[in-house]
Structure 1
Amino acid sequence: MIPLVILYNAVSLDGRITGFNADVELYYDLASKWNVDAVLMGSNTVLKGFGVKPGETLEESEESFKPRVKDPEDKLPLLVVPDSKGRIRIWSELLKMPYINDVLVLCSRSTPTEYLDFLEERYIDYLVVGYQQVDLENALEELNTKFGVKRVRVDSGGILNGVLLRAGMVDEVHLLIHPELVGGTTTNSIFQAPDLDDDEVPIKLYLESMEKIKDDIIYLQYRILDGMFKL
């Protein structure tokens, strides 16, 4: 069984996830109050958030190559990042984030051995799930059975969101709607996936709550009624 999966994004009124003034403090303040065991973040989101290119490294201290002392009483969530191509090389920076207790990298059987060695040298835990790419459903099941993860917050962009939504692995969608319009033709919405076929229908949702938070920002909480299915 996979954990409960909550997709969480800050968006403009026209559904964009970039190009507007997102209230980052509010975003993480709300997220910190949720009782989640893990945060699933896409590799593109990590690279963009830290302003680095795929494969780029930063200066590391000697502590990066030593085992970390883990506090069993630490209730902060585990950060989980799919990275089967070995694009992220700044794990020591991610470990400095104040709202996580540790990191876990999701790899596949196609992940270069050199990258697995890179992770092991830095005592970064990883999980091999899938062949050419990460099998997210299997990964979520492993998180549940091996790590006791019951609730996951997805803090990512449209590509990872799209994979999870299309596969029917999302239970709830939470959105912070900002009173700004971005426009443009570049696709950067919260849900990036192939267009529906003629015999497929949109995912149905149920509005559980709606709240005006601050500065005309609206907080919406939806529950998925059913995933995409064939007519």
Structure 2
Amino acid sequence: MRPRVVIHNSVSVDGRLTGFPVDLGLHYEIAARIPADAILSGSGTMLAAAAEQGVDLSGEDPPPSPPADGDQRPLLVIVDGRGRLTRLDWLRAVPHWRDVVIMCCAATPHEHRARRVVTAGDRVDLAAGLAQLHAGYGVRTVKVDAGGTLNARLLDAGLVDEVSVIVSPRVAAGETVPLFTAAAGTRLRLAGSERLRDDHLWLRYTVSADTAAG
């Protein structure tokens, strides 16, 4: 059994994740209305965040402290099959989650000083990883805050139950990243829409039952 999976992103009116100014306050205001036990992201997203924040990823990662009993904040789960993200203390310092868990595979180098969800093989098996989150950590709902590649892998694997997008009244410019890099043929059904401030629109879609897998 796997958790319920909700992809949540802010996009331009032409469905891009980059190339336009994102209203981060609005993005996280709406994200807070989607309760989740874990936030799922990719190593590429976190490496980009580290570069933007000037984090020195070559520094030593100190051993993590165990989360306090009864902490109800979600976990941050990072898919990192290649072991690229070896320093995590800067992420543990963020108050939005209680701890960081790495979702990796048997072939991943063992540099992570973090709790790990390990799947068999030489590539992360997302279905198996999600099932382990449910069984080992009691995760019932996962909110995905990631780039187009991880979004597409989840959707193509039939692991997504809902797609939530905040549509900005902007057309993206320059070389941009799509919401889904390669997902094809997935049938979505509109579950709700809400007009937000400054001409933003929140759209929620459920994935057709004949597409989602569990």
1:76 to 2:79 alignment: no
Identity level (%): 36
Asked whether the equivalents of residues 5 and 169 of structure 1 are also in contact (C-alpha less than 8 Å), the reply is yes
Over 6 Å off, 4+ runs: none
1:189 to 178, 185, 193: 178
The residue that corresponds to 1:119 in the other structure is 112
Establish whether residue 225 from structure 1 lines up as the match of residue 208 from structure 2. Answer: yes
Partner residue, 2:19:
19
Q: Which has the larger radius of gyration?
A: 1
What aligned pairs does 1:161-176 form with structure 2 within 5 A after superposition? 161-176=151-166
Q: How far apart are residue 182 of structure 1 and its match?
A: 1.4
Normalised by the length of structure 1, the TM-score is 0.84
Question: Who is 2:191 aligned against?
Answer: 208
Of 142, 145, 148, the match for 2:132: 142
Structure 2 match to 1:51: 51
Secondary structure at the aligned position of 1:65 is classed as: coil
Q: Deviations along 1:157-213, whole A, 9 cap, x unmatched?
A: 0000000001110000000000001155x451111117x5xxxxx211111111111
Which segment is superposed worse, 154-163 or 84-93? 84-93
How many Å separate the matches in 2 of 1:67 and 1:218?
Answer: 39
Q: In structure 1, how many angstroms separate the alpha carbons of the residues matched to 2:3 and 2:211?
A: 19
| Structure 1: stretches of 5+ with no match in the other structure | 197-201
C-alpha contact 1:83 1:107 (8 A) present in aligned 2 = yes
Gap runs ≥5 in structure 2: none
> Distance between the aligned counterparts of 1:35 and 1:156, measured in 2?
17
Q: How many pairs align?
A: 209
Give the residue type in structure 2 aligned to 1:193.
A
Summarize the alignment of residues 29-108 of structure 1 with structure 2, pairs less than 5 Å apart.
29-51=29-51, 57-60=57-60, 65-108=62-105
RMSD between aligned alpha carbons? 1.9
What is the deviation of 1:58?
A: 4.9
Helix, strand or coil: the match of 2:29?
Answer: helix
